[in-house]
Amino acid sequence: MRRGGVEAVQEAAPKGGASRTWLVAAVLVIVAAGIGYGVYQSTTVTLEDTPPVRPLEASELSAYLERDQIQVGPYEPMMMLPDDVEGWPESPAEIAARMHRESSSWSLERPLPREVLTADETFAMVDAHEERVELYPLELATAMTALLRERGMTAMVAEVWEFDGARAPADPSGMLGYFVTAVYGEGGSVEPPAYFDPWGGRGQVKVSSVRVLRDTEVLAAALGTEANRIFARSGDGAKSLPMVETALLLDPVSPSLRAVNATVLVESGGLAQAVKEFEGALQLRPDGPRKLSLVQLHLAQAGMLEMNGQREAAEVQFNEGNRIVGEVIEKWPRYGRAHVVLATVHLGLDEPERARVELEAAESLSPGAPMLWAVWAQYHLAQSDSVAAASKIARAIDLDPDNWQLRIQAARIFQGAGDDDAASENVAMALQLVSPDKRTEVRQFIERMMGAGALDLPDPTVTAAPPQGASGDPALMLGDPSNLRLRDPDQGLKLDLDE
């Protein structure tokens, strides 16, 4: 019945089925919460102050980069293989051997004309070409490391500065780096790893100076190599400097990255900072490549003094360079680049016979180095042998056609040899290769070096077609030490040629 318009509600006795339903619901809520917490725990990464020296999962790597607010662009998946790579052998030694067979050896004194590849892109390039392809040691070591990890092995990328018994540094440039794969025993054994060299084809190697890299430091090496390539191909410091600065955030103790940073700073006018970077790199690794970088500064200083008519002071700088290079060659007698630099010093000291001996030694050791043939050309021009000079500089251009500084040097050599057509052609190539914002400056430099009326210089504001065989973006390679001249103590080092 109703009371006051409200119907009385009869209380029913509880049923056992309803109680069970409530209990089941409660249990499901608890279980769901547990699952959610488990999912949270599995997707939340515990980060250490410094990334550990062990393989990182993709989520861990991303978390470290995000925490430190570092963006590495396309190189974040550098170590990852999205798909299983089929058709490759199982053992590390066999993988390294096949990688060496698939790749082509080349001079490590210049960057390649293309972008640095990730592990996945490296395998794709190998699969896409029947012939051998040019790859960086970094790319092969990274690809091999990623493949071994996919197969459940513990592997890391390692940078080698010197192999046991070697009579030359592993990386002649001091900027590209030489990398191998470090393979650990079962369960990430604490025993020292075995090192495998896929680029050099040495198989399992013994190293006397090596550093196993964190995965974040591998990304830094890729960024540094790419910054080196961009700067070497176009002189674009505005683009390459932020890249190498990002790389140094990931790996501040890399001597190779410090050398790349110094090289960019030199051209960008930051000489004082560049000297500090060169000195910092030398403190980290007091080896041949780092010492040669300091020799370049002595040669630059000598060039400035010569231009100011201070021949005796210039000789002091040349002699100091001579002393340093002599020490390098004493320790690494098969270091071809050191012999070329020493030849340059002898040319500066008007000692052509000694220069010739060093160039012959360098040719026997590193015949594929463009810098060797450029200095040979300078030697022959100094000996009034224009035919030999033109032949040698043409060989340098064949080895490195996308090198704007080498093109300028070639123009000067051809002008000295009396071939104004070849000189004009190389000037035009140089202006095309540099970044658009540098063309006016480079043109003015060429006019000072070769004479305003010596050549019919193209308008630097007009974009010509890319040179035959070059990619769409500008291309270059850093000049050799003999081309560095310090125009003013408060300015950057500029490319110059002997008058």
Name residue 211's beta-bridge partners.
159
CA distance 118 to 125: 10
CA distance 27 to 25: 5
Residue 51: pLDDT above 90?
A: yes
Residue predicted with more confidence, 351 or 5: 351
Residue predicted with more confidence, 481 or 304: 304
Residue predicted with more confidence, 421 or 302: 421
pLDDT value at residue 410: 95
Most distant pair of Cα atoms in the chain: their distance: 128
Residue 152: pLDDT above 80?
A: yes
CA distance 384 to 388: 9
Which burial class, exposed, middle or buried, applies to 194 when counting CB atoms under 10 A from its CB (0-12, 13-18, 19+)? middle
pLDDT value at residue 466: 38
Identity of the amino acid at 307: M
pLDDT digits (tens, 9 = 90+) for 286-322: 999 999 988 888 887 887 788 788 888 888 888 888 9
pLDDT value at residue 82: 83
pLDDT value at residue 354: 96
Residue 379: pLDDT above 90?
A: yes
* CA 478 vs CA 65, 175, 226: distances in Å: 31, 12, 14
As annotated, the residues of the chain forming the CATH 3.10.620 domain(s) are 73-219
The CATH code of domain 73-219 reads 3.10.620
pLDDT value at residue 411: 94
pLDDT value at residue 458: 55
Residue 174: pLDDT above 60?
A: yes
pLDDT value at residue 452: 72
- What is the chain's alpha carbon radius of gyration, rounded to the nearest angstrom? 30
Whole-structure pTM value: 0.80
Is there a contact between 458 and 428 (Cβ–Cβ < 8 Å)?
Answer: yes
pLDDT value at residue 325: 95
The arrangement of secondary structure in 370-499, i.e. its CATH architecture, is: Alpha Horseshoe (1.25)
Q: What mean pLDDT do residues 374-380 have?
A: 96
As annotated, the residues of the chain forming the CATH 1.25.40.10 domain(s) are 287-367
Q: What is the number of other CB atoms lying within 10 angstroms of the CB of residue 487?
A: 16
Lowest mean pLDDT among 7-11, 15-19, 67-71: 7-11
Residue 251: pLDDT above 50?
A: yes
Model confidence band, residue 470 (pLDDT cutoffs 50, 70, 90) = very low
Residue predicted with more confidence, 51 or 307: 51
pLDDT value at residue 301: 80
Lowest mean pLDDT among 3-17, 220-234, 256-270, 444-458: 3-17
Task: Give me the percent of the chain exceeding a pLDDT of 90.
Answer: 58
Q: What mean pLDDT do residues 334-344 have?
A: 95
Q: What mean pLDDT do residues 187-197 have?
A: 79
Residue predicted with more confidence, 183 or 7: 183
pLDDT value at residue 341: 95
Q: For the chain, what is the mean pLDDT? A: 82
pLDDT digits (tens, 9 = 90+) for 422-462: 999 999 999 999 888 888 888 888 888 887 765 665 554 54
- What fold, for 287-367? 1.25.40
Residue 50: pLDDT above 70?
A: yes
